[in-house]
Structure 1
Amino acid sequence: MNIKNFGFYITDIKRLMTREFSKGEQTLTPMQARALMYVARFEGIRQRELADRLDIQPIALVRLIDLLTSENLVERRADPSDRRAYRLYLKEDAAPTLEVLKDDVEAINSRALAALNDEEVEQLMYLIEKVHTSFSTPSDQ
């Protein structure tokens, strides 16, 4: 089995998709967009958990959330169970931005998968989810 280029292709596809994303209609950076989409998906998420999900340092996330807050897209609320922590919520103004992001992501995904038929797309997604699951569960090693 030849798997030596697997990581290269995954990383390069991400790079190419990120570059394509930057050509879209939105004004957010890819990292800002990822943060906003995570807040939309997990409203009330703690800042520290979001930093973990984005794989960035908490201090970098603070600056990122400051930008999203200044754009009136996200708000911080004190965590009722821990006064040192904040939870993140969408603001009403985030809805149009999220729609543009959704449209851009759909266009990028369509372009990326254009060479595949429906059956191949299903098979690819099944396999990618399987690989993802292998990294999402604790390893014994």
Structure 2
Amino acid sequence: MNHAKVLGLAKTWLAKCKCVPEQRFKNEGYKYPTRLVNLAGLKKHGTIDTKNWKYHEDVGLNELGNTLVNLINKDSPGWPKSDDDMEDKEYVTLSHKWGGTDKPTRLTKGTENAYREGVPLRELPRTFQDAIHFALRVSSKVHYI
């Protein structure tokens, strides 16, 4: 199966998937993860059509390397202030094994501020870069790592 077919299949699954029904989400006070990566910074470089949040597929990771991505949470600027605004805050999740790397990228109290300020995309592990690239291609605004 080629990349376009895999991407199309993933988009179909995501369009159908509502892991937490909207009403349950609102009633039970569902909490977002603390490691959401804001992909909005990438739109400043013309990589995302901001009106439709569609990814310009001709732009690759090399062109995006210096673009800052940052962690966001409910206290971050631009985060929805009411339950009615929450429905557009869907996110894509990366599930992975750390593997045998000597220096894995980890969120700790010592690194949290730097990640909230923003780090260049190229400084993230390739697995994270690829996951962000995928999230952009399925039109996600945020990504959970």
Same fold (TM > 0.5): no
Give the TM-score band, short-chain normalised: under 0.3
Q: Please, what TM-score do these two structures have when normalized by structure 2?
A: 0.27
Structure with greater contact order relative to length (CA < 8 Å, sep ≥ 6): 2
Which has the higher Rg, Structure 1 or Structure 2?
1
Q: Please, what TM-score do these two structures have when normalized by structure 1?
A: 0.28
